[in-house]
Amino acid sequence: MKKMFYAMLAMAFISVMPMQAVEEVVELDLDTPDEKSSDKLILYGDVKEKEIYSYSNYAESIESAGASVDIITRKEITRQNSPLLSELLNQTGSLFVQNANGSDGSVSSVRLRGTDRVRMTIDGIRADRTSMTSTGVEPQFLLTDDLERIEIIRGPQGNLAGTNASGGLIAMQTRRGRGPLSIEMGSEMGNLGTFKERLAVMGGNHSIDYYMGLTWFKTDGGMSATGLGDIRNDDYNNLNIVTNIGKRILDEKAEVRNIFRFSRARKDLGVGYQQSYPYGIYQSPNNYGLNYDIMNVLSYSHSPNEKYNYDAKFGVYHNESNSYVLPDNLSGDPFYESISKINSTRLNFVTQHNYNVTDWNTLSVGYNFETEFIDGHTRDVAMWTGTVLNGYSGNTIQNDVFVNDLINIKDKLFIRGGARIINNSDFGTYVTPNVSAALVLPTFNLEGSKTKFRTSWGQSVNNPTLYQRFGTMNSSYMQSLANPNLKAEKMESWDVGVTQSFFDEKLTIDFGYFNSDYKDYIGYRGETDPITWVYVGQYVNVDSARIQGYEGKITWEPKPWLKAIASYTYTDSEDKTTHADLPGCPRNSIKGTIYWIPNEIVNLYAGVEANSGRYMSATQNSDKTNGYVDVKLGGKVRLLKTENTEISLNGTVYNLLDQDISMYKTGPTSYYAPGIHFRAGLFMKYTLPQKEKVETL
């Protein structure tokens, strides 16, 4: 009956839309920059839809990119109406978010072209925490309501972004205010005890702008496991606070900006392990994790003249990660308790200077400084081992200098090259060169069409996280050993591709091949002692690994009210020590997205994500999940619009086919994401009336 009810709800939501689209559409709540004003300003926030900022750290046409690039604009973020970054990223080709258990808020890792060696920045500052168990990024704590745009650059970006960017770069930008004072309010509810409450205030002119947002998202989770059924203790509770304030000075040729982010996320961990011989899995009533994130970015940008501009950013990122396994009567040891607390901090300063040497040559030089600290301790109490205490700490310092040169020959041939010299206090000095090229030509005898050939080659370095080197855990059923001798990974990668557009870019087809080779690849190795049944593991360097594959994408946008995107990625990976697939990487992945605006009242979205199974570890006989298909449907219906007020109804349905989506497997136990789940609610935006006409952003 529940499945029938959810299906009827989705059909009722669709039935309100007219079946005939209109030519002229008034877009709702797009929050896009004013094209006229953005020509005047040098602001990071005023990058146009077909420009990219993070590829060179200054705005340029996306056609000049020799790498494969995707941009998720504020318009698309609004249309998908998903509060979770992981859901948004999973609709992007060649990008896969591996969720540890399947429910919202579970530990996740981002894989781009098969590897989780991906760098993530927020407003130009590195945003992956040093206490992670992998060298990638975790998106589960980030909500999307405060994001302006996301730029995804595939392939090695060691020169552009520095260390830990061999798979690519995900660069996110915080929303900022524009125009007169506006207030956004939203409230959504759904099954699985889900709700989201939101309040934001924003505005701005050519002198100053401001944005302040608060989002509270909560859900009961909905994870299930083989033999255990629905997991009762699986709640997720996340509170995000974001502020973004900018001030223009020096006759609007310079800007000072400060962006602050705070997140408190609690995730109940409803699965535990029995402390008996041999131990088994049970539904734990009171295990949970508590995570605090604090990030502040202070930036200064200045363009003294048309030939020269520069910026400087100073960022602080602090994370406190807590894990609690508290006593209960189900574990086999009613006195068992394990508490882990990790504090990590990164200070990051980066500056870049851009020189327009000629009309066809732009030279960039820059400097990057990073220092990281970690401090952690664990307390483990068991009936037969007593109390075991572990403590650890570590730090590292890194300095980079980099140079990048872009040559533009008649807006047809773009050649980019440069290198970064990286000096790390623990891993020594490395050089990471990168070169790319793009050739854009009118298609022969086909008016309104273009052909773009692109290629890139580069080297990159991935430093182990401080947790991988110093973190330890010693419990009655598992030991994770520190390895301070871990070496940095080295990677060399190249790709080639072609993009063909038709009908003045209304139809675009892209296809490419990529290949990456790793040395000193960082993996996790361990085994269970057959006598004590204690699992002992450690992060180690394996000899080498390889990832190669193909990716294709078709984008069709015949009218402003209709856009469809379809992508396919094939990934072949190998740990050359075990000759097995690398863990967490699906061989085949298909994504599809449709945005449709049938009239000025209705705004609809549909998405599909299909992935093949994934191995859980790099061994010949490792556990493998089943493949799955996830279909999503969402939309917005405008209920009221006046000169200053807009009220709309939002709704989203996930896993419409009610599939058993397996996200993780260990032994005979598979962990599944929820079945059909939905959210629906009201959104209101009020804009303060202007007494007189003033120039706004």
Q: pLDDT per residue over 276-321, tens digit each?
A: 655 678 888 889 999 999 999 999 999 999 899 999 999 999 999 9
- The amino acid that residue 625 corresponds to is T
Instruction: Report the distance separating Cα 17 and Cα 354, nearest Å.
Output: 49
Report which of 575, 576, 592 is spatially closest to residue 584, judged by C-alpha positions: 575
Greater model confidence, 100 or 650: 650
pLDDT at residue 479, as a whole number? 75
Greater model confidence, 374 or 385: 374
**Chain Cα centroid distance, residue 514:** 21
- pLDDT over 50 at 31, yes or no: no
| pLDDT tier for residue 645 given thresholds of 50, 70 and 90 | very high
CB under 8 Å to 485, separation ≥6 — which residues? none
Condensed to tens digits (0 to 9), the pLDDT of residues 404-438 reads 999 999 999 999 999 999 999 998 999 999 999 99
Instruction: Report the distance separating Cα 84 and Cα 142, nearest Å.
Output: 7
CB under 8 Å to 6, separation ≥6 — which residues? 191, 653, 676, 678
| pLDDT tier for residue 620 given thresholds of 50, 70 and 90 | low
8 A C-beta contact, residue 124 and residue 299: yes
Instruction: Report the distance separating Cα 161 and Cα 463, nearest Å.
Output: 13
Token code pair at residue 78:
């609004």
For tokens 């996110």, what's the residue?
172
CB under 8 Å to 550, separation ≥6 — which residues? 511, 512, 513, 514, 568, 569, 570
Percent of the chain scoring above 70 in pLDDT: 89
Greater model confidence, 476 or 507: 507
pLDDT at residue 333, as a whole number? 81
Q: Where are the beta strands (DSSP E) in 50-165?
A: 51-52, 60-61, 69-72, 95-99, 108-112, 118-122, 125-126, 147-154
Where b means 16+ CB within 10 Å and e means fewer, 286-304 reads ebbbebbbbbbbbbebbbe
- pLDDT over 80 at 65, yes or no: yes
Mean pLDDT calculated for residue range 248-275 = 90
Q: Where are the beta strands (DSSP E) in 222-307?
A: 224-225, 229-230, 236-249, 254-268, 271-273, 281-283, 288-305
With H, G, I as helix, E, B as strand and everything else as coil, classify residue 120. strand
Q: Is CATH 3.40.50.720 the classification given to domain 2-687?
A: no
Question: 278 preceded by cis ω (within 30°)?
Answer: yes
- The amino acid that residue 243 corresponds to is T
pLDDT at residue 11, as a whole number? 36
8 A C-beta contact, residue 524 and residue 537: yes
- pLDDT over 90 at 10, yes or no: no
* DSSP element (H, E) containing 603: strand 602-611
CB under 8 Å to 77, separation ≥6 — which residues? 88, 144, 147, 149, 150
Query: Please, is 504 exposed, middle or buried when counting C-beta atoms within 10 Å of its C-beta (0-12, 13-18, 19+)?
Result: exposed
For tokens 């996830």, what's the residue?
630
- pLDDT over 60 at 382, yes or no: yes
The pairing of strands 478-481 and 535-559 is parallel
Condensed to tens digits (0 to 9), the pLDDT of residues 86-96 reads 888 888 988 88
* DSSP element (H, E) containing 327: none
With H, G, I as helix, E, B as strand and everything else as coil, classify residue 551. strand
Greater model confidence, 595 or 5: 595
Percent of the chain scoring above 90 in pLDDT: 49
* DSSP element (H, E) containing 469: helix 466-470
Count of residues for the chain? 697
| pLDDT tier for residue 167 given thresholds of 50, 70 and 90 | confident
Paired strand residues for 515: 494, 548
With H, G, I as helix, E, B as strand and everything else as coil, classify residue 64. helix
8 A C-beta contact, residue 208 and residue 244: no
CB under 8 Å to 621, separation ≥6 — which residues? none
Torsion region of 410: left, alpha or beta (phi above 0 gives left; psi -120 to 50 gives alpha): left
Instruction: Report the distance separating Cα 115 and Cα 582, nearest Å.
Output: 9
pTM of the model: 0.89
CB under 8 Å to 660, separation ≥6 — which residues? 626, 628, 672
Domain ranges of the chain: 2-687
Instruction: Report the distance separating Cα 112 and Cα 96, nearest Å.
Output: 6
For tokens 């994370």, what's the residue?
319
- pLDDT over 90 at 82, yes or no: no
Quote the mean pLDDT of the chain: 85
8 A C-beta contact, residue 336 and residue 382: yes
- pLDDT over 50 at 27, yes or no: no
Q: Quote the longest CA-to-CA distance of the chain.
A: 81
475-480-483-487 Cα dihedral, nearest 10 degrees: -160
pLDDT at residue 619, as a whole number? 66
With H, G, I as helix, E, B as strand and everything else as coil, classify residue 6. helix
First to last CA, the chain: 51
379-381-385-388 Cα dihedral, nearest 10 degrees: 10
- pLDDT over 90 at 117, yes or no: no
Backbone angles phi, psi at 353, to 5 degrees: -120, 125
Backbone angles phi, psi at 8, to 5 degrees: -65, -35
pLDDT at residue 582, as a whole number? 80
Token code pair at residue 24:
């002229």
- pLDDT over 90 at 548, yes or no: yes
With H, G, I as helix, E, B as strand and everything else as coil, classify residue 270. coil
Condensed to tens digits (0 to 9), the pLDDT of residues 185-215 reads 999 999 999 999 999 999 998 899 999 999 9
With H, G, I as helix, E, B as strand and everything else as coil, classify residue 458. strand
8 A C-beta contact, residue 309 and residue 351: no
CB under 8 Å to 542, separation ≥6 — which residues? 520, 521, 522, 523, 575, 576, 577, 618
